[in-house]
Structure 1
Amino acid sequence: MRAAAITRTSATMRQTGSGDLLADRRYAYAEGCLAEGDAAGAAEMAEQALERAPRFAAAWVLLGRAREACHGKTPDPALFQAALRAYETARDLDPEDALGTLVHLARLGAGGALPALSPAYVRALFDGYAGRFERHLVEGLGYRGPALVCAALDAAGARRYPDAIDLGCGTGLMGAALGARVARLTGVDLAPAMLALARRKGVYARLVEAEIGAFLDGEPAASADLCVAADVFIYVADLGPVLAGIARVLRPGGRAAFTVQSHDGDGVILGPDARYAHADPHLRDAAARAGLGRASLHPAAIRREQGRDVAGRIVVLAKPPVAAGPAPD
């Protein structure tokens, strides 16, 4: 679903602004400076915004980004510590983490384990992005995740799925691609604006506003024949819990098909693009612990960013069929 390069502290992430018109203007100037590569100017403008509105959490995030960029140009430990302090202040002012500050801290090696992205952050991020989502995704980034997922499903053995779930359905690109492969399709997403656009596709029997883990926990066991997730797991650190949830809701013989961003090492890493990349051993281990067999795992470039292919995988897993009982005497 979500593959676009998104500016984490854009105007859509400011929520309702600072309440001070001059502070908001300086924030906007700071954003412009950072976008043009003037990190020092961005830091100065963000500091001016915070002089007027010291509890403006998004400005603290922007100041952290600007100081981090300054450190990238001039490796000064004081700049690195200043960026950390700015992010930590933003975290304290935004306890729900709607601005995704924990991701910035994790990238800098602070905060311990890789964080789960907060529902508040995901909802705000994609509600603000919904209107231009598809055009940017398909035309700007050459996104083809849904087509690749469908091709992998067909290669695993073409069939029709009576009940299917599209996790992180977004505006419905994956649901539309599935077409006649499914009879009844449920779409799940955290962002109401995304769901409103998905509804227009006319391919979903049911649309649910929910976090995917909570949704899976609430669904009846053995109630679906297929679960798909196109560019959703780039926002999930540990795939173990979500694959276990998928395994629980799948009927015996059901399938799961999804995309991930990948890397050649071990475990899970948080990249500079603020997305999670999963190594093949992590995928295999998480699937095995969930009781899902691997039908296929293929390298694929699902999109392009900054003119380069982004390394990924197309994964198809299967829940084992019910074992036949002993023959009657």
Structure 2
Amino acid sequence: MHPTQFSSGDVIADRRADYARMLAENGEHEAAVELMEQALELVPDWPAGLLRLADYAEKAGQAEKAIPALRRLLVLDPEDLFGAQLKLALLGAEDIPDQPPSRYVEALFDDYADRFDTALVEKLDYSVPAKLARLIVEHEDRRFDLAVDLGCGTGLFGAEIRDRVSRLEGFDLSANMLAKAEEKGLYDFLAKADLSLEATESGLFDDGLAESRADLVSAADVLMYLGDLANAFALAAQLLKPGSLLAFSVEDAGEGDGFILAPSLRYAHTEQHVKYRLDENGFDLVKLSRTTIRMDGGKPVSGILFLAGRKA
């Protein structure tokens, strides 16, 4: 169950919230706001209720109600399971954070794991794993000794690269995603890791796993859940042998030199930001390719595929 569906513990408040949800689904957001306010009068410190109120208020154009609800939510939930900080940033009430809350991303994908492959590939026409694997092979058609798949998810990229890799390691923040990947039998090693943390805390080097062990590191549709890419590229540099390859995708933010937070609560990055962070972490750009990476709301999402080499 997704955290937004958590009960308030009060039957009447839950009923009002259910009715508010039906109104919101019908586009009646102002009426939904009123009902959620009534529900929260009964249970003022209901985190999921505060999130719903903020969501309906934002859609009703009532930022003056959404912002206090999100601020209260952050007080009740300092780990920010619900991504309130990101939502406040979109409303212009906070600066865009360099990284999203790890607990928010973890909960998002734990909930998504069971339907991930079907939703992403069949419904959203997701194509990054195959395109990224093709980019690698077109540059260097060979077998890799050890590949590390960062943010491996259910193993979609692993399936594309497995026959070209002697050993394949997968890391993800979501335990449920890792369980799905394990079911496919593609990976020689799977473990939990957080790319927003420093190397010693990330999980990438636990249990005696060595630095400079990989000749290929991938991050297929992972970096849109990070803002500033400095730490992610620093981790990749520590994983890779000199002269080895880093392959990844980003959502394209267009012109500029930084990154943006999209209404989807995913980050998009400019080509310039990516190139700058690659260079400062010891990478040379080998190749990039602009492409559609998925559909979202019936519209194509533009992205950039990158292939970079770890400097000798």
Please indicate the TM-score interval, normalised by the length of the shorter structure: over 0.9
Q: CA RMSD in A?
A: 1.6
In structure 2, how many angstroms separate the alpha carbons of the residues matched to 1:69 and 1:137? 25
C-alpha deviation, 1:20, in angstroms: 2.1
Given that residues 6 and 48 in structure 2 are in contact (C-alpha distance below 8 angstroms), is that contact kept between their aligned partners in structure 1?
no
Mapped pair 1:205 → 2:188? yes
Mapped pair 1:138 → 2:129? no
Equivalent residue for 1:107, pick from 90, 95, 103: 90
In structure 1, how many angstroms separate the alpha carbons of the residues matched to 2:310 and 2:286? 10
Q: Which amino acid aligns with 1:133?
A: F
Mapped pair 1:215 → 2:215? no
Equivalent residue for 2:47, pick from 47, 57, 67: 57
Q: Deviations over 1:248-284 (max 9, x none)?
A: 1100111111110012222100011111010010010
Percent of aligned pairs sharing the same letter: 38
Given that residues 224 and 251 in structure 1 are in contact (C-alpha distance below 8 angstroms), is that contact kept between their aligned partners in structure 2?
yes
* Number of residue-to-residue matches in the alignment: 304
Residue 161 to residue 131, structure 1, CA distance change in 2 (3 Å): same
SS of match in other structure, 2:218: strand
Given that residues 154 and 180 in structure 2 are in contact (C-alpha distance below 8 angstroms), is that contact kept between their aligned partners in structure 1?
yes
- With 294-303 and 206-215 compared, the bigger mean Cα shift is at 206-215
User: Which residue number corresponds to residue 280 of structure 2?
Assistant: 289
In structure 2, how many angstroms separate the alpha carbons of the residues matched to 1:208 and 1:58? 30
Given that residues 249 and 305 in structure 2 are in contact (C-alpha distance below 8 angstroms), is that contact kept between their aligned partners in structure 1?
yes
User: Which residue number corresponds to residue 302 of structure 1?
Assistant: 293
In structure 2, how many angstroms separate the alpha carbons of the residues matched to 1:316 and 1:276? 20
- With 206-215 and 129-138 compared, the bigger mean Cα shift is at 206-215
C-alpha deviation, 1:161, in angstroms: 1.2
C-alpha deviation, 1:217, in angstroms: 6.0
Q: Which amino acid aligns with 2:54?
A: G
Mapped pair 1:318 → 2:309? yes
Superposition map of 1:231-242 within 5 A: 231-242=221-232
Given that residues 103 and 115 in structure 1 are in contact (C-alpha distance below 8 angstroms), is that contact kept between their aligned partners in structure 2?
no
Q: Which runs of 5+ in 2 are unaligned?
A: none
Equivalent residue for 1:243, pick from 229, 233, 238: 233
Mapped pair 1:265 → 2:255? yes
User: Which residue number corresponds to residue 253 of structure 1?
Assistant: 243
Residue 290 to residue 170, structure 1, CA distance change in 2 (3 Å): same
In structure 1, how many angstroms separate the alpha carbons of the residues matched to 2:98 and 2:27? 28
Higher RCO, 1 vs 2 (CA within 8 Å, ≥6 residues apart): 1
Q: Which amino acid aligns with 2:148?
A: I
C-alpha deviation, 1:15, in angstroms: 6.5
SS of match in other structure, 1:260: strand
TM-score (norm 2): 0.93
Given that residues 217 and 245 in structure 1 are in contact (C-alpha distance below 8 angstroms), is that contact kept between their aligned partners in structure 2?
no
Q: Which runs of 5+ in 1 are unaligned?
A: 1-10, 72-78, 322-329
In structure 2, how many angstroms separate the alpha carbons of the residues matched to 1:161 and 1:169? 17
Equivalent residue for 2:25, pick from 6, 30, 35: 35
User: Which residue number corresponds to residue 327 of structure 1?
Assistant: none
User: Which residue number corresponds to residue 275 of structure 1?
Assistant: 266
SS of match in other structure, 1:226: strand
